[in-house]
């Protein structure tokens, strides 16, 4: 009898240990999926490090992009993965090698969330196709977006492939879709991305060597896309979209910085200097790309007589909320120039803070001001490192413009 009791105790103990092991977060690569329109799933990969410690983290993987998410923890039996940069988080229940949960945005009241699933040990974003097309997507493409309402916008796709893995991005006049990654299918290419804000899924089918059609899925809806190969594809001139209203040559803003002190271009710090003004938001991925460029650039160039000011428009017209989000942003990139709070995100707020600007259409929008305080150029959007040569060309043009203004 005693032997039977000890056997029962031993089996129970082994079962408890087994369950505890099965229901803990495991270090290594996971494949995640987020629901998008038409019941599709946008896949992405992430890596877990230091699981089971107070240093546990998740790193989102998109091509060469690495987005580290810290402070991963449990609330009771629920896994919480904070995405601080975008005021969001993933929550889920672990069962063996799987996680079931939701992606939730804090700034949306009573957000129902987006369904999330993850599987441990799967290292391929898309399942390999048995056969792939002879057509390769490498190169530049004119890409037409056709919304559900029938509106069209012309964009540029840049892609490359290696061992059937495809990477690249699509550039718009507002910015780029960042680091897309995918694989060849039997008839085209599937691409996806998740950097913490919104999942993307793109399904492409080749019509011939020089054309494709497909769909771009987000949580909000579906956009039809049509592509035509074009080695000379380019966007509208980003300096031609926004401008100053007739009769204006300078900016008269007077807005609070994160310490609550009002800042204007007439302050001694900016008088007689070339000034770059960036209209941004902490919630905007392309703005983050711009700050990642501008923050070290400013440190390297500030002694030349140039300054940078960021004017941020946030999800709430609440200074304390904005201060928290923008302080986190400044700390993330080691930003040493002033960030001002312009109000709640939206064209009306931009018009109130910067009434001189006409045809504002995108975050970020960057204004270049000469030593006399006059606006010389306005650049709409920002195409970051995911766009390859387009990004390199932007940096070259940016530095050339600053050199020209400093030499005057």
For the chain, give the percent of residues with pLDDT over 90: 89
* Each residue's pLDDT tens digit, 288-328: 999 999 999 999 999 999 999 999 999 999 999 999 999 99
- Please determine whether the domains at 2-120 and 243-407 fall in the same fold group of CATH: no
Specify whether the CB–CB gap between 4 and 184 falls below 8 A: no
Torsion of CA 103, 105, 110, 115, to 10 degrees: -20
* Each residue's pLDDT tens digit, 111-168: 999 999 999 999 999 998 999 999 999 999 999 999 888 889 999 999 999 988 999 9
Homologous superfamily assigned to 139-229: Quinohemoprotein amine dehydrogenase alpha subunit, domain 2 (2.40.128.120)
Torsion of CA 18, 20, 24, 30, to 10 degrees: 20
Sorted by where each begins, the domain ranges of the chain are 2-120, 139-229, 243-407
| 2-120: CATH, from 2.10.260, 1.10.10, 2.40.160, 3.90.1200 | 2.40.160
Q: Is the pLDDT of residue 20 over 70?
A: no
Residue 218: band (very low, low, confident or very high) from pLDDT cuts 50, 70, 90 = very high
Q: What is the predicted pLDDT for the residue at 19?
A: 44
* Each residue's pLDDT tens digit, 350-397: 999 999 999 999 999 999 999 999 999 999 999 999 998 899 999 999
What does pLDDT average to over the chain? 93
Edge-to-edge strand order for the sheet containing 306-314?
Answer: 338-344, 306-314, 274-280, 365-369, 375-380
Q: Is the pLDDT of residue 15 over 80?
A: no
* CATH architecture, domain 243-407: 3-Layer(aba) Sandwich (3.40)
Closest to 107 (Cα-Cα) out of 91, 79, 73, 83: 83
Specify whether the CB–CB gap between 46 and 61 falls below 8 A: yes
- Distances from the Cα of 280 to the Cα of 95, 360, 371, angstroms: 41, 12, 23
């Amino acid at each position: 009898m005693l032997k039977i009791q000890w056997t029962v105790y031993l089996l129970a103990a082994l079962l408890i240990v087994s369950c505890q092991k099965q229901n803990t977060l495991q270090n290594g690569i996971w494949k995640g999926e987020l629901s998008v329109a038409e019941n599709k799933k946008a896949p992405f990969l992430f890596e877990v490090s230091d699981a089971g410690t107070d240093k546990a983290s998740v790193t989102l993987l998109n091509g060469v992009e690495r987005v580290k998410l810290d402070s991963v923890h449990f609330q009771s039996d629920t896994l919480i993965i904070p995405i601080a940069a975008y005021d969001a988080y993933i929550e889920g229940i672990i069962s063996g090698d799987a996680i079931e949960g939701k992606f939730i945005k804090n700034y949306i009241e009573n957000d129902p969330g987006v369904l999330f699933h993850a599987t441990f040990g799967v290292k391929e974003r898309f399942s390999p196709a048995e056969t792939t097309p002879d057509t390769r997507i490498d190169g530049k493409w004119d890409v037409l977006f056709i919304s559900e309402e029938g509106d069209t916008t012309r964009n540029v796709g840049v892609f490359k492939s290696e061992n059937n893995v495809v990477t690249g991005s699509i550039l718009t006049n507002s910015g780029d879709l960042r680091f897309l990654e995918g694989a060849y299918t039997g008839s085209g290419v599937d691409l996806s991305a998740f950097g913490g804000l919104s999942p993307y899924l793109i399904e492409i089918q080749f019509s011939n060597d020089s054309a494709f059609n497909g769909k771009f899925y987000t949580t909000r809806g579906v956009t039809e896309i049509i592509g035509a190969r074009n080695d000379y594809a380019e966007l509208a001139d980003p300096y031609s979209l926004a401008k100053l209203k007739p009769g204006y040559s300078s900016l008269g803003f007077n807005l609070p910085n994160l310490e609550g002190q009002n800042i204007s271009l007439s302050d001694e710090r900016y008088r007689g200097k070339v000034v770059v003004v960036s209209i941004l938001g902490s919630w905007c991925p392309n703005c983050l790309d711009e700050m990642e460029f501008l923050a070290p650039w400013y440190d390297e160039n500030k002694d030349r007589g140039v300054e940078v000011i960021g004017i941020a428009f946030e999800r709430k017209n609440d200074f304390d909320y904005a201060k928290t989000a923008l302080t986190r942003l400044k700390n993330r990139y080691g930003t040493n120039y002033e960030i001002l709070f312009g109000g709640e995100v939206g064209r009306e707020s931009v018009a109130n803070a910067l009434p001189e600007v006409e045809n504002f259409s995108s975050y970020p929008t960057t204004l270049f001001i000469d030593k006399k305080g006059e606006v010389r150029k306005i650049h709409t959007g920002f195409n970051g490192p995911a766009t390859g040569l387009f990004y390199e060309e932007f940096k070259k043009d940016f530095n050339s413009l600053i050199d020209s203004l400093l030499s005057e």
